[in-house]
Protein backbone atom coordinates (compact mmCIF):
# COMPACT_ATOMS: atom_id res chain seq x y z
CA UNK A 1 0.00 0.00 0.00
CA UNK A 2 0.92 3.65 -0.15
CA UNK A 3 3.37 4.93 2.39
CA UNK A 4 3.60 8.31 4.08
CA UNK A 5 3.73 11.14 1.57
CA UNK A 6 4.93 14.69 2.08
CA UNK A 7 4.71 17.82 -0.02
CA UNK A 8 6.41 19.81 -1.23
CA UNK A 9 9.63 17.78 -1.37
CA UNK A 10 11.69 20.96 -1.56
CA UNK A 11 10.86 24.47 -0.41
CA UNK A 12 12.95 27.61 -0.69
CA UNK A 13 11.77 30.57 1.35
CA UNK A 14 13.06 34.05 1.91
CA UNK A 15 13.68 34.96 5.53
CA UNK A 16 10.47 36.24 7.04
CA UNK A 17 8.12 34.29 4.79
CA UNK A 18 5.54 31.84 6.11
CA UNK A 19 5.63 28.22 4.90
CA UNK A 20 3.25 25.26 5.16
CA UNK A 21 4.40 21.66 4.91
CA UNK A 22 1.91 18.85 4.32
CA UNK A 23 1.91 15.24 5.47
CA UNK A 24 -0.41 12.44 4.31
CA UNK A 25 -0.04 9.49 6.70
CA UNK A 26 -0.63 5.85 5.90
CA UNK A 27 -4.39 5.29 5.69
CA UNK A 28 -5.85 4.29 9.04
CA UNK A 29 -2.83 5.29 11.09
CA UNK A 30 -3.92 6.96 14.31
CA UNK A 31 -0.63 8.50 15.42
CA UNK A 32 1.30 11.14 13.49
CA UNK A 33 4.68 12.64 14.35
CA UNK A 34 6.77 15.52 13.03
CA UNK A 35 10.57 15.49 13.31
CA UNK A 36 13.26 17.96 12.26
CA UNK A 37 16.56 16.69 10.85
CA UNK A 38 19.56 18.98 10.53
CA UNK A 39 22.36 18.07 8.14
CA UNK A 40 24.43 15.20 9.50
CA UNK A 41 22.21 14.73 12.54
CA UNK A 42 19.50 12.31 13.60
CA UNK A 43 15.84 13.36 13.51
CA UNK A 44 14.60 15.38 16.51
CA UNK A 45 11.02 15.25 17.75
CA UNK A 46 8.80 18.26 17.21
CA UNK A 47 5.19 17.26 17.91
CA UNK A 48 2.75 14.33 18.05
CA UNK A 49 -0.94 13.79 17.26
CA UNK A 50 -3.31 11.02 18.19
CA UNK A 51 -6.17 11.38 15.71
CA UNK A 52 -6.89 15.13 15.70
CA UNK A 53 -5.58 15.77 19.22
CA UNK A 54 -2.11 17.27 19.58
CA UNK A 55 -0.86 15.46 22.66
CA UNK A 56 2.74 16.64 22.79
CA UNK A 57 4.29 19.75 21.28
CA UNK A 58 7.27 19.95 23.57
CA UNK A 59 9.78 19.79 20.71
CA UNK A 60 8.52 22.80 18.77
CA UNK A 61 11.47 25.24 18.89
CA UNK A 62 9.45 28.45 19.11
CA UNK A 63 5.96 29.86 18.89
CA UNK A 64 6.60 30.44 15.18
CA UNK A 65 6.00 26.71 14.68
CA UNK A 66 2.43 25.46 14.57
CA UNK A 67 0.99 22.07 13.59
CA UNK A 68 -2.54 20.87 13.02
CA UNK A 69 -4.44 17.73 12.04
CA UNK A 70 -8.06 18.90 11.99
CA UNK A 71 -9.73 15.73 10.70
CA UNK A 72 -7.35 13.18 12.12
CA UNK A 73 -5.72 12.40 8.81
CA UNK A 74 -3.65 14.95 6.85
CA UNK A 75 -1.40 17.19 8.93
CA UNK A 76 0.19 20.55 8.21
CA UNK A 77 3.28 21.99 9.86
CA UNK A 78 3.35 25.77 9.55
CA UNK A 79 6.37 27.96 10.20
CA UNK A 80 5.79 31.68 10.47
CA UNK A 81 8.40 34.35 9.78
CA UNK A 82 11.03 31.79 8.76
CA UNK A 83 14.62 32.23 9.94
CA UNK A 84 17.83 30.77 8.52
CA UNK A 85 18.11 28.40 11.47
CA UNK A 86 14.83 26.80 10.36
CA UNK A 87 16.63 25.30 7.34
CA UNK A 88 16.41 21.53 7.73
CA UNK A 89 14.58 18.45 6.52
CA UNK A 90 11.15 18.08 8.09
CA UNK A 91 10.06 14.46 8.42
CA UNK A 92 6.60 13.13 9.08
CA UNK A 93 5.96 9.66 10.49
CA UNK A 94 2.81 7.70 11.26
CA UNK A 95 1.99 4.60 13.26
CA UNK A 96 -1.08 2.40 13.37
CA UNK A 97 -1.58 2.85 17.08
CA UNK A 98 0.26 4.54 19.90
CA UNK A 99 3.69 2.99 20.64
CA UNK A 100 3.69 1.07 17.36
CA UNK A 101 6.45 1.21 14.73
CA UNK A 102 6.74 4.64 13.12
CA UNK A 103 6.96 4.77 9.31
CA UNK A 104 8.53 7.84 7.80
CA UNK A 105 7.81 9.89 4.72
CA UNK A 106 10.50 11.19 2.35
CA UNK A 107 10.70 14.56 4.08
CA UNK A 108 10.53 18.18 2.98
CA UNK A 109 13.85 19.98 2.62
CA UNK A 110 13.37 23.60 3.67
CA UNK A 111 16.00 26.16 2.75
CA UNK A 112 15.63 29.67 4.15
CA UNK A 113 17.68 32.32 2.36
CA distance 106 to 93: 9
CB atoms under 10 Å from CB of 65, counted, come to 19
Give whole-number Cα distances, 79 to 60, 64, 83, 97, in Å.
10, 6, 9, 27
CA distance 80 to 61: 12
| Per CB under 8 A, 52 contacts another protein | no
Task: State which of residues 56, 62, 81, 111 lies at the interface with another protein (CB under 8 A).
Answer: 56
Residues 2-41, mask of contacts with another protein (x by CB under 8 A): --x--------------------------x-x-x----xx
| Per CB under 8 A, 105 contacts another protein | yes
Residues 78-97, mask of contacts with another protein (x by CB under 8 A): -------------x-x----
| Per CB under 8 A, 75 contacts another protein | no
Cβ closest to another protein, residue 37 vs residue 73: 37
Backbone angles phi, psi at 31, to 5 degrees: -100, 140
Which long-range contacts link 54-61 to residues 24+ away (Cβ below 8 Å)?
61/36
Site residues, another protein (CB under 8 A): 4, 31, 33, 35, 40-45, 48, 55-56, 59, 91, 93, 98-99, 101-107
Amino acid sequence: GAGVSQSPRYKVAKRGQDVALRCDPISGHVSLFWYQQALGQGPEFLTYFQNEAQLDKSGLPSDRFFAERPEGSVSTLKIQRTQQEDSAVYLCASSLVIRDTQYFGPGTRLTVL
